[in-house]
Structure 1
Amino acid sequence: MTQMHPFPAPVGLWVRKGNPSLLYSQTQPTRLDVQFHIHRSCSAEMQTGECWVAVLYSQHRGLRRQKDLQEGIWQLSSVNPAASNRHSHRGLSPGQLSICQVNLTSSSAWRIAGQGAGLAATEDMMERVEGRSGVSTTCPRRCSCDPAQSVQCYRATEIPREIPFTTRRLYISHSKIKQLQIADFRRMSALEELVLSCSGTESIENNTFKALSTLKSLELYKNQLQQIPTFLPSGLEILKLADNSINTLHASDFEGLMKLRVLDIRNNLIATLPPSAFSSLCNLQSLILDGNHMESVSAPLQLPRLKYLSMADNKLNSFPTNFFASFKNLQFLSLSGNFLTKVPLDLPKSLLSLKLEKNQLKTVRLRDMKHLENLSEFFLSENQLTSVDGAQLLPNLTTLELSKNQLHTMPLRLPGRLQKLDCSDNLIQRVTAQDFQGLQDLKHLFLDNNAVSTFEAGALQQCVQLSNLALEQNLLISIPLRLPDTLARLDLKGNDIQDVGEQELKDLKQLQVLNLRNNKISALDRKVLEYLPRLRHLYLDGNPWNCTCDLLRTRRALVAKGTDVRGGQCAAPAESRGESWMSSKKILQQCEENLSSMERGKEDRKKMKPNEAFSVGVNADDDYYDYELD
């Protein structure tokens, strides 16, 4: 059928028992497709003729109501001669679809026709069937509606009454809706997703969502709910109640939700975790309990299909024996931000990621974890660890984060597949080649904010894929020698480096970012830059630069390469102190004047007699030749 223009007015069929009398005004002429069908609730009355059918029509064109419904006859006045054969349908069965094309060209009112006592139709007496255009009927104030059957509302004080019947997704935020009631959603029989956030909702009437049989996702986060909504629809798959004031879980809260896959109740006031509360959730895959007040858990949870469990930022200090044993499919576990003093035992073999940051761990017995042969990510930052040894027992580990502990030495015996190692913010003083033996897959190494003063030459030579090396805020006096030629980023900010030489950088052909901020560098030879063909970002500020014309020559080389440079300020000579050596016109002018003076001197010497020229040459400052600009 021909594609029609968007149609903002009510389109479709109303069916009710009795004689309806309704009126709706619309002034925009348009052309549309309408799908008609006989409402199933009328089938019982078909033989008695008590079920009436009414259709939108133009008051100038009229609608012929067919009394003999038991014969299954529909008849519209012919408004489109080209499609008039579609306007009469005989032998139509209840529930069967028929398509009619109607050309509504009148700008006058459209009427839902009928005879009788003029009774107003109520919500439970009618059904709307949307047109082929898929466009909603009306859009409530402070809402936006789109053809995809989504409605977004804001700053509402109640659930809008005019929301289209075919709405599948409803999003309401930043409103003031203290209570939800059954009547709020009675007409929304097609609703699949409901999001009500930041609206101050305090209570929900019992059974409010029970009749929404198509609802799959319910999100009520950032409100003031004190309990889980009751009698939720059995087809629900996603339930998010984060950032409320829920303080207790009951055994009946999730009863019957056998299809629920995601449950998010983070940032509430839950203190205990009764296992019976989750007994119905046989298909739950993701459970998020972060930011509650849980101090302990009493017994294992029976959630056989759970893949993601997060209990971060609670007050947990231990777990009962075999608490995790039933999680045969668990892949992600976060216990960060608790009071754990040791790694829980009996963690499931299926784990891929384990997060234990911000606890009180002083030791990690990796031999108790060797069964975690699939573990890929291990996060131990912000604990009290003084050493880590034996991580090679985790053969598939690719990420190990140990920042903000109390490590004095590099971790020993690391796994060969490691790709990211973060040992920043510790007390490490020395880096040797032995520390990185066999780490041929390492790509990212973070050793910043330590006390490294010794970095053995070639310590990282076996790291043949290393692209990112962070050594800022240490005690290095020079750039480490024989760094891997694969480096793309090198961060040496905040050390005591005084010189940037060719030997340190000559092999770094892939380097794109070099950070030398806040060191003690005063000069930079432009020849060094020739070894860095791919350099894109160079950070040099915070150094005591001696702004000679030689440095300006380096500046021009950087500009010609298109390198983004943060050059910093001059510390010398005195007349240039505080000037930016990358952008100061004053310094550039001085160097140009020196050049001009030098060239004038050359011309004068050509005009002098040989003995005069020799006399002047003795007193000439040959350093001027070093300041020649390109």
Structure 2
Amino acid sequence: MWLIFIVLHLGLLVPLSLSCPSACVCLPNGDVTCTGGITEIPHLAANQTFRLKLNNTLIKILHPKSLQPLVFLLRLQISHSPLATIHPEAFYGASQLKSVVLSSTNISDLPPRVFSSLENLEQLYINKSQLMSLPADIFKHLVNLTELDISMNQIANLDARIFQNVTKLTYLNLGKNFLQMIPQMMFHNLRQLKSLILSSNQLRTIEEGSFDHLNNLLLLMLDKNQIQGIPSRLFWHMPSLLILTLSSNQLRYIPRETFYYLPNLTKLTLYKNPLISLPDQLVGHMPRLQEFYLYNTNLITVPWNLFANMTGLKSLHLHYNEKLISLPKDVFSHLPNLEKLSLRKNILQDLHKDQFSSLTKLRSLNIYGNKLRSLSAKIFQNLHSLTHLQLNNNNLNNLPGDIFAHLTVLKSVTLGHNQWNCTCSILDIAAWISDNRNVVTDLHDVLCHEPYHLINKSLVTLTNDSLKCGVTTTGDLHVTMTTEEIQAYSSERTTASFFTDIKNISNVATNTILSTTVPPVHRTLQTLSSTAYTFKKPHTARSMPNVFYDTVVLVNGPDIVHNNRRQGWVYLWTVPTSGAYSSFLMALHVVLIITGVLLIIFSAFAFYHLHKALWKTGMTLRHQTIKTKRLRSFNGKL
């Protein structure tokens, strides 16, 4: 028995080796691949040709019944060839074909009944060609067809009846054509369809009810069209849908409840739409959604409950929204499984301290390229799984020193290209950066932005001495005493009583340094947040050194200090250099100056006219006096 099988097998191989053309490669399993200068279907051993691939050949036409000799051929592929003409009877005699792939050819039209003999065909690809239209009954006899790809052609219109007989279709690709509309009834018979691709067309609208019978659809791609509006119930009859793409369209508004009744959705894309706003009731129950893309829009903010029904979300891409200035406090509060959050390249200015408090599984957080000016020390306290954090290219001028204390598994953080204000208050975060150089991946870009004399100085090089800070950094008011004053004073009083005197005299100096040794030249006093501080001049020079009115200095502080002396008291006034209060005072100062200048000009003008009026009055009186004297003299002579 085995001997007969071997003989038969060798007998089959002999004609194969003898009949394989030089431009082809014929394999024992029935695969034949031909390339090169052949211009028609080659002559092959029929009983040994099951799959035929004709790639990069010179075939321009398929002649009538050209496949009839290959009675066992199941799959035909012709690709990257100048094929332009298919005879109406080209596939006659090849009814056994299961797959026909005509890819990257010059086919511009097809005969109406060219596929009428392929009742067993399951797969048909006519993609990357020059088709401009299709006959209405082109697929009429393909009752067993499950896959159809006519993408990357130039088709502008399709008849509403074109798919009515291919009821077993599970995959349909119409992408990258010039379709401007979809007839409402075109997909109604495709109840087994699982994938529908309409990407990269010129669709402007889709009629309500177009997808009502696609109950088994898993993939729907509508991206890269020109859709300006969609009916609110367009997707309501696709409960099995897993992936929905609506990106790169012209949607400015999305109706309420558009994404209801999609409980199995795992991926949703809305990016690259000029969206102005989103309704509060937009998304229904989507516990299996894992990826959501909402970027390149015109959104200023998003509804607080936008992600409330996406409890299974793992990746959220909310970036490149050039008008997104704020986020609701609780917008991420229902995303306990989120692992990746991208907020980069928005214009966010502030984030609430509890903005990320619910994201306990978050591993990657990207806030690069926003307008953040500060962050709360508690903003990252619940992100125990965070490994990658990007904060570069913001407007941060300082950060609390313990802001990263809870990020125990942090592997990388970027802090460069911010507006770091290198005063004494920055030393805590600078120390953290210095201790975690291997974590800060853009260390060379973490540079001072101000003050002027420290521009481009690396934060890791900052020290108390380089910033001329005191031993402690609890305040910006520094009291300076010369060594002689300290020695003179300490010879009569202990250091403790010295600071006790300071505490008794000043109601705003607290938490002083209770050292038992002679204090150093610079000591820092912690001040309260009052706007004015008063210090009484000591009655005798020996009872208290001349500290408060001759040697009070402000070291590296952002506040403006002004002092007045009256009846032995020194009044210190602090005015912040930034903020609404500072702007008000500056505006008031300018108004007062302008008012003073105007008063001076007005006074000068008034004095000038008064002087002129007095001069005229004087001249008039003088003339009257002279006239009177002359009249009297004349009367006397008479």
1:463 to 332, 335, 358: 335
Percent identity between matched residues is: 22
Per-residue deviation, 1:511: 1.2
Separation in 2, partners of 1:298, 1:376: 24
Structure 2 partner of 1:129: 12
Per-residue deviation, 1:237: 0.9
Per-residue deviation, 1:509: 0.9
Structure 2 partner of 1:425: 296
Structure 2 partner of 1:303: 189
Code of the residue aligned with 1:158 in structure 2: it is T
Q: Residues 305 and 522 from structure 1, CA distance in 2 versus in 1: closer, same or farther, beyond 3 angstroms?
A: same
Structure 2 partner of 1:260: 145
SS class of match (2:275): coil
Structure 2 partner of 1:443: 314
2:251 to 379, 384, 392: 384
User: Contact 1:135/1:149 (CA < 8 Å) preserved in 2?
Assistant: no
Separation in 1, partners of 2:39, 2:131: 22
Q: Does 1:568 align with 2:445?
A: yes
Per-residue deviation, 1:514: 1.4
Q: Residues 408 and 288 from structure 1, CA distance in 2 versus in 1: closer, same or farther, beyond 3 angstroms?
A: closer
Structure 1 partner of 2:616: none
User: Contact 1:260/1:283 (CA < 8 Å) preserved in 2?
Assistant: yes
1:231-287 alpha-carbon deviations (Å, 9 max, x no partner): 553322101001222234335533532222112112333344335554543433333
Code of the residue aligned with 2:394 in structure 1: it is N
Structure 2 partner of 1:250: 135
Q: Does 1:511 align with 2:386?
A: yes
1:367-402 alpha-carbon deviations (Å, 9 max, x no partner): x76555555555444333336433574362645544
Structure 2 partner of 1:48: none
Structure 2 partner of 1:169: 51
Q: Residues 512 and 164 from structure 1, CA distance in 2 versus in 1: closer, same or farther, beyond 3 angstroms?
A: farther
Separation in 2, partners of 1:156, 1:201: 13
Separation in 1, partners of 2:148, 2:352: 50
Q: How does 1:494-573 map to 2 (within 5 A)?
A: 494-499=369-374, 502-521=377-396, 527-544=402-419, 554=432, 557-558=435-436, 560=438, 568=445, 570=447
Code of the residue aligned with 1:408 in structure 2: it is S
Q: Residues 437 and 616 from structure 1, CA distance in 2 versus in 1: closer, same or farther, beyond 3 angstroms?
A: closer
Larger radius of gyration: 2
SS class of match (1:445): strand
Structure 2 partner of 1:158: 39
Separation in 2, partners of 1:392, 1:617: 69
Separation in 2, partners of 1:495, 1:567: 20
Separation in 1, partners of 2:30, 2:184: 44
Per-residue deviation, 1:466: 2.5
Q: Residues 204 and 401 from structure 1, CA distance in 2 versus in 1: closer, same or farther, beyond 3 angstroms?
A: closer
Q: Residues 370 and 310 from structure 1, CA distance in 2 versus in 1: closer, same or farther, beyond 3 angstroms?
A: closer
1:550-596 alpha-carbon deviations (Å, 9 max, x no partner): 888655644556x75575364569899779x69xxxx98x99xx9xx
Q: CA RMSD in A?
A: 4.7
Structure 1 partner of 2:125: 240
Q: Does 1:269 align with 2:154?
A: yes
Separation in 1, partners of 2:43, 2:280: 64
Per-residue deviation, 1:224: 0.5
1:405-464 alpha-carbon deviations (Å, 9 max, x no partner): 333356436424353544433344346755555653343434321534444445433332
Structure 2 partner of 1:492: 367
Structure 2 partner of 1:210: 92
User: Contact 1:304/1:328 (CA < 8 Å) preserved in 2?
Assistant: no
User: Contact 2:392/2:418 (CA < 8 Å) preserved in 1?
Assistant: yes
Per-residue deviation, 1:223: 0.7
Per-residue deviation, 1:519: 0.8
Q: Residues 199 and 384 from structure 1, CA distance in 2 versus in 1: closer, same or farther, beyond 3 angstroms?
A: same
Separation in 2, partners of 1:160, 1:556: 73
User: Contact 1:171/1:196 (CA < 8 Å) preserved in 2?
Assistant: yes
User: Contact 2:277/2:300 (CA < 8 Å) preserved in 1?
Assistant: yes
Q: Residues 184 and 512 from structure 1, CA distance in 2 versus in 1: closer, same or farther, beyond 3 angstroms?
A: farther
Code of the residue aligned with 2:129 in structure 1: it is N
Separation in 1, partners of 2:302, 2:206: 38
Q: Residues 411 and 207 from structure 1, CA distance in 2 versus in 1: closer, same or farther, beyond 3 angstroms?
A: same
Separation in 1, partners of 2:41, 2:434: 65
Separation in 1, partners of 2:83, 2:412: 50
Q: Does 1:406 align with 2:281?
A: no
1:396 to 247, 255, 263: 263
SS class of match (2:378): helix
Q: Does 1:360 align with 2:245?
A: no
Q: Does 1:475 align with 2:357?
A: no
Structure 1 partner of 2:79: 197
Per-residue deviation, 1:533: 2.6
User: Contact 2:278/2:303 (CA < 8 Å) preserved in 1?
Assistant: no
Separation in 1, partners of 2:16, 2:377: 68
Q: How does 1:95-134 map to 2 (within 5 A)?
A: 98-100=5-7, 129-130=12-13
SS class of match (1:130): helix
Mean Cα deviation higher: 484-493 or 275-284: 275-284
Q: How does 1:6-17 map to 2 (within 5 A)?
A: none
Structure 1 partner of 2:109: 227
User: Contact 2:49/2:72 (CA < 8 Å) preserved in 1?
Assistant: yes
Q: Compute the TM-score of the two structures, normalised by the length of structure 1.
A: 0.58
Separation in 1, partners of 2:231, 2:21: 59
Per-residue deviation, 1:359: 0.2
User: Contact 2:326/2:349 (CA < 8 Å) preserved in 1?
Assistant: no
Q: Compute the TM-score of the two structures, normalised by the length of structure 2.
A: 0.58
Code of the residue aligned with 1:173 in structure 2: it is N
Q: Residues 552 and 214 from structure 1, CA distance in 2 versus in 1: closer, same or farther, beyond 3 angstroms?
A: farther
Code of the residue aligned with 2:13 in structure 1: it is E
1:71-130 alpha-carbon deviations (Å, 9 max, x no partner): xxxxxxxxxxxxxxx5xxxxxxxxxx6433999xxxxxxxxxxxxxxxxxxxxxxxx723
Code of the residue aligned with 1:257 in structure 2: it is L
1:164-194 alpha-carbon deviations (Å, 9 max, x no partner): 6524333333444323346865664433222
Higher relative contact order (CA 8 A, sep 6+): 1
Separation in 2, partners of 1:136, 1:428: 67
Separation in 1, partners of 2:456, 2:38: 59
Per-residue deviation, 1:503: 1.4
Separation in 2, partners of 1:252, 1:391: 35
Separation in 2, partners of 1:319, 1:501: 47
Per-residue deviation, 1:322: 6.6
Code of the residue aligned with 1:492 in structure 2: it is I
Code of the residue aligned with 2:166 in structure 1: it is L
SS class of match (2:103): coil
Gaps in structure 1 of 5+ consecutive residues = 2-34, 36-85, 87-96, 104-127, 339-357, 595-610, 622-630
User: Contact 1:178/1:203 (CA < 8 Å) preserved in 2?
Assistant: yes
Q: Residues 102 and 511 from structure 1, CA distance in 2 versus in 1: closer, same or farther, beyond 3 angstroms?
A: closer
Structure 2 partner of 1:291: 176
Per-residue deviation, 1:488: 1.8
Per-residue deviation, 1:504: 1.4
1:184-218 alpha-carbon deviations (Å, 9 max, x no partner): 65664433222222212112344333334543111
Q: Residues 453 and 385 from structure 1, CA distance in 2 versus in 1: closer, same or farther, beyond 3 angstroms?
A: closer
Q: Residues 568 and 322 from structure 1, CA distance in 2 versus in 1: closer, same or farther, beyond 3 angstroms?
A: closer
SS class of match (1:270): coil
Structure 1 partner of 2:506: none
Separation in 1, partners of 2:6, 2:224: 61
Separation in 1, partners of 2:262, 2:122: 36
